[in-house]
Amino acid sequence: MNELAAVEALAASIPTTPWFIRVGRALSDADRADLAGYVAALDLEAGPVEPVATWKDASRVAADPDWDRRWWQAEAREQVRLQAWAEERHGPEATLSALTHVTEAALDPTRAAAEAAANKEERNEALSRVAAGAAAQACHLAALALAAGKPAHGFVIKHRIFAAGRWPLGRLRERWYLF
């Protein structure tokens, strides 16, 4: 499949993706394997995976100032590399157009799903906006990896984690947190 066709297929799948439907539930072996694959793809240290049970706990983890910035830096480096590869393959305009389409397609469905999921437990508009933004960003990054011709990239795995109804919150004090 052409890389930009794969990006378009990703965009088309966004409205029917079960965003945040499994947050707070027990982690499966597949959840743990996907997180390990994502972490390894970014060349980061593994470490224990901690399940996050509630939106309140997710808020605490997301707001903790001791989060591991190496995770953010690894994603930023990868994003720059993939952007260059995608633009080399398809040109800057076609790449921007494809990525913009995915990001725009993700905004409303991820926001609605995050609000619905968060409101089941407690009303936390700020956290539901953060969750929706993280999911939309995962869509963008997966689309970037696909456009760059990297369908097995860690960003595609990260999207798969979100698409499975989870939210990877990141690394904090040598542990990975998965909601």
pLDDT, one tens digit per residue, over 53-106 is 999 999 999 999 999 999 999 999 999 999 999 999 999 999 999 999 999 999
How far is 153 from 41, CA to CA, in rounded Å? 7
Task: Give 129's Cβ-side CA count (13 Å radius).
Answer: 3
How far is 176 from 125, CA to CA, in rounded Å? 24
The total domain count for the chain is 1
Q: Which domain holds residue 49?
A: 3-178
1: confidence class by pLDDT, cuts 50, 70, 90? low
pTM for the complete prediction? 0.95
